[in-house]
């Protein structure tokens, strides 16, 4: 699925960018008000002031809208390059903590994940987002292997999934806010496990679940 790569991503500025931001703001507000189940192209068009035909042409579906929204919001969680993997993990964990420190962000991911349990369209949206995000975050691990910080057969997806999992457990299962202590303890634990070879590739083992990523 590629519908979430909206034109505004490749043609920044001008009317295209303004249209994209108006639409994504409307999607965010609609999800905040009624969750994924109440999200429709028509309601987004009405709230954003953008013709519904434009929405279908650029995003094709509500899951395309949600993927683009998640991609846009995740841009506020930059991928660090501190020069060491412990530094990168700590910085990224703190950024994730700050991102989900906002109640509205927690409600967004809770709404989409809850819908994904029964709605295949929502499931497609959330999986597509994480499948795109994980390889980007995995570059930190690839740099660490080049520096000799990790075993050469370390699986970047497993490392990034391990970093993200405690946050999503806290948000989606425990239903509690995230905090700096969670960020610090998670980064420390993932670094220790990665250095010890806990996330090396195994040909016969199960693949890491993209939905656990940051």
Residue 127 in any domain: the answer is yes
**Is residue 57 located within the same domain as residue 88?**
no
Intra-chain end-to-end CA distance of the chain, in Å = 20
Residue 54: give its domain's CATH number. 1.10.10.60
Confidence tier at 4 by pLDDT (50, 70, 90):
very low
State residue 203's pLDDT score.
57
- Ranked by mean pLDDT, which of 28-32, 60-64, 139-143 comes out on top? 139-143
Does residue 140 surpass a pLDDT of 60? yes
pLDDT at residue 188 tops 90: yes
pLDDT above 90: residue 107: no
Give this prediction's pTM: 0.78
- The average pLDDT across 141-162 equals 96
Residue 156 sits in a domain whose CATH number is 1.10.357.10
Q: Are residues 49 and 87 in the same domain?
A: no
Which residue segment(s) compose the domain that 140 sits in?
Answer: 78-212
**172: confidence class by pLDDT, cuts 50, 70, 90:** very high
Q: Does residue 171 contact residue 178 with C-beta atoms inside 8 Å?
A: yes
Which pLDDT does position 6 carry in this prediction? 40
Question: Is residue 1 assigned to a domain?
Answer: no
pLDDT (mean) for 106-130: 85
Q: Is residue 2 part of a domain?
A: no
Which residue from 30, 123, 113, 16 is spatially nearest to 59, judged by alpha carbons? 16
Specify the length of the chain in residues. Answer: 214
Average pLDDT, the chain: 86
Number of domains in the chain: 2
Residue where one domain finishes, among candidates 37, 54, 72: 72
Last residue of a domain, one of 25, 41, 72: 72
**What per-residue confidence (pLDDT) applies to 171?**
94
By CB atoms closer than 10 A (0-12, 13-18, 19+), residue 123 is middle
Does residue 173 share a domain with residue 158?
yes
Which residue pairs from 46-50 have beta carbons closer than 8 angstroms and sit at least 24 positions apart in sequence?
48/22, 48/23, 49/22, 50/19, 50/22, 50/23, 50/26
Indicate if the pLDDT at residue 58 is higher than 70. yes
Which pLDDT does position 13 carry in this prediction?
57
**Average pLDDT value for residue range 122-126:** 84
14 and 43 share one domain = yes
Identify the pLDDT of residue 200.
Answer: 95
User: What number is the average pLDDT over the span 20-27?
Assistant: 95
134 and 151 assigned to the same domain: yes
Domain for residue 167, yes or no? yes
Q: Do the domain assignments include residue 160? A: yes
**Last residue of some domain: 29, 45, 72?**
72
The pLDDT value given to residue 213: 55
Q: Higher-confidence residue: 115 or 170? A: 170
DSSP 210: G
Does 105 share its domain with 208? yes
Q: Are residues 157 and 65 in the same domain?
A: no
Shared domain for 119 and 172, answered yes or no, is yes
Say whether pLDDT at 156 is over 90.
yes
């Amino acid at each position: 699925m590629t519908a979430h790569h909206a034109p505004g991503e490749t043609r920044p500025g001008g009317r295209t960018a303004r249209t994209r931001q108006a639409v994504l703001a409307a999607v965010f507000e609609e999800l905040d008000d009624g969750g994924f189940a109440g999200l429709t192209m028509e309601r987004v068009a009405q709230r954003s002031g953008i013709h519904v035909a434009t929405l279908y042409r650029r995003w094709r579906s509500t899951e395309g809208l949600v993927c683009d929204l998640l991609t846009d919001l995740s841009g506020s969680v930059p991928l660090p390059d501190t020069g060491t993997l412990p530094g990168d993990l700590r910085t990224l964990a703190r950024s994730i903590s700050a991102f989900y420190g906002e109640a509205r962000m927690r409600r967004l991911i809770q709404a989409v994940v809850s819908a994904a349990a029964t709605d295949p369209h929502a499931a497609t949206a959330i999986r597509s987002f994480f499948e795109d995000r994980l390889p980007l975050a995995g570059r930190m691990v690839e740099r660490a292997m080049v520096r000799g910080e990790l075993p050469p057969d370390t699986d970047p997806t497993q490392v990034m999934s391990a970093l993200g999992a405690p946050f999503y457990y806290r948000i989606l299962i425990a239903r509690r806010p995230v905090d700096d202590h969670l960020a610090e303890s998670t980064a420390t634990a993932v670094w220790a496990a990665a250095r010890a070879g806990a996330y090396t590739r195994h040909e016969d083992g199960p693949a890491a679940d993209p939905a656990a990523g940051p």
